[in-house]
Amino acid sequence: MVTTIFFRGRLMSVPGAYSDVDASGLEAAGLTSAGVVCLVGLARGGKPYTAIDLTKTIKPQLESARSQSVASRFYRGGDLREAVDIVFAPSLDPAAEGGADEAIFVKVNPSIQSQVYMVNGGGNCALIKSVDYG
């Protein structure tokens, strides 16, 4: 004789043994920050590695950020721009906090700043450079 029971949201109508596993005790207590992360990759816009002055004795001017909103302003697109979300917000779950404390970005594809010399009767009078590269 076949009977039906309602178990774990499903109607069972086949004779048998059914079980339920509660794995809530195996959950992680929460992620901690990952410290300083360095990302090397391609991007559209932003300062390339070749434009960084490495002769400075204090610290080279690498692109560095401690928040997602600051880091997202460095590049217009590409792999490094997409990595910003992964580094600072690795999970959309508010219970799983984490991410990097600081991220340092190194753009490896070449790009230059656009520039133009303004000329008057005496020759070059002003140099105008774009803020962004590429």
| Cβ 66 vs Cβ 100: under 8 Å | no
Which residues lie across from 104 on neighbouring strands? Answer: 38, 64
Q: Quick count: other Cβ atoms within 10 Å of Cβ 8?
A: 8
Supply the pLDDT for residue 57: 60
pTM greater than 0.75 (yes/no): no
Task: Print pLDDT tens along the chain (134 aa).
Answer: 567 777 777 777 777 777 777 776 665 555 566 678 888 989 988 888 776 666 766 556 778 888 888 888 888 888 988 988 888 877 766 655 677 888 888 888 888 888 888 888 777 788 888 887 77
Cα separation, 16 vs 23, in Å, equals: 23
Beta pairing class for 36-41 and 63-65 = unpaired
